[in-house]
A and B are shown apart, each in its own frame.
Chain A
Amino acid sequence: DTEVTQTPKHLVMGMTNKKSLKCEQHMGHRAMYWYKQKAKKPPELMFVYSYEKLSINESVPSRFSPECPNSSLLNLHLHALQPEDSALYLCASSYGLGTGELFFGEGSRLTVL
């Protein structure tokens, strides 16, 4: 199994809603990532987890709250988002930090109204 699975694929939410994006991998990877990609822009790193601990937070606003319940799962909790937060949110995993190759999911397309 070489897949990173993200749900939902599409999400539309209002600015007062609370929702979550989910990511799952069963490759035994110990590092997991959230990236954000706006249209015609490169993916930008948001968070990195290593061995279920938050390793990097790229100064992301607190309305985005990551969670890593176990080594296979990564969540991104969303609350009080702004329309400019609309983007493709990509989850990725790797064997560990510093191993280079990241395996990406297909992404969750988020629209904030």
Chain B
Amino acid sequence: DQQVKQNSPSLSVQEGRISILNCDYTNSMFDYFLWYKKYPAEGPTFLISISSIKDKNEDGRFTVFLNKSAKHLSLHIVPSQPGDSAVYFCAASGGYGGATNKLIFGTGTLLAVQP
């Protein structure tokens, strides 16, 4: 049972345009969400996070939006750059009865930014 889903395995965007990566989750107990970026042959790198008490968090070119009622979050990258080309993982945690950091990852979306 995949609790965190990224339904688009890949996305191609022109340089300078907006990239929108989507993520859906099923567990209403999740209260913290993160986006990680992964280049080939490297470990995932933290990008941005959002707590369930917020609906938006922004960091430079990256903005994460959370819609709790729809159990949906999205990552917006504006403007997209060729160096943003990587696999993006959505992850969620929470609801495990106490302080824990059990992250559940989505299946990832491969973003390709074309020059």
Tell me the smallest distance from the CB of B11 to a CB of chain A, in Å.
16
At the interface, yes or no: A13 with Cβ under 8 Å from chain B? Answer: no
User: Within residues 29 to 65 of chain A, which ones have a CB less than 8 A from any CB in chain B?
Assistant: 31, 33, 40-45, 48, 55-56
Q: Total number of A-B contacts with CB less than 8 angstroms?
A: 60
Q: Judge whether A98 and B101 touch: CB under 8 Å.
A: yes
At the interface, yes or no: A74 with Cβ under 8 Å from chain B? Answer: no
* Cβ contacts B65-85/A at 8 Å (1 or 0 each): 000000000000000000000
Which chain B residue has the least Cβ–Cβ distance from A41? Answer: B107
Q: Judge whether B44 and A104 touch: CB under 8 Å.
A: yes
User: Within residues 26 to 78 of chain B, which ones have a CB less than 8 A from any CB in chain A?
Assistant: 32, 34, 36, 41-46, 49
* Cβ contacts A96-108/B at 8 Å (1 or 0 each): 1111111111110
Q: Judge whether A33 and B101 touch: CB under 8 Å.
A: yes
C-alpha spacing A60/B108, complex, angstroms:
23
Number of interface residues of A (CB under 8 A): 28
Given A45-B102, A98-B100, A100-B93, A105-B46 contact (CB < 8 Å): no
At the interface, yes or no: B25 with Cβ under 8 Å from chain A? Answer: no
CB neighbours of B102 from chain A (8 A) = 45, 48, 56
Tell me the smallest distance from the CB of B62 to a CB of chain A, in Å.
14
Q: Of the candidates B45, B49, B101, which one forms a contact with A104 in the assembled complex, judged by CB atoms under 8 Å apart? A: B45
Chain B positions near chain A (C-beta within 8 angstroms) = 4, 32, 34, 36, 41-46, 49, 89, 93, 99-108
Chain A positions near chain B (C-beta within 8 angstroms) = 4, 6, 31, 33, 40-45, 48, 55-56, 90, 92, 94, 96-107
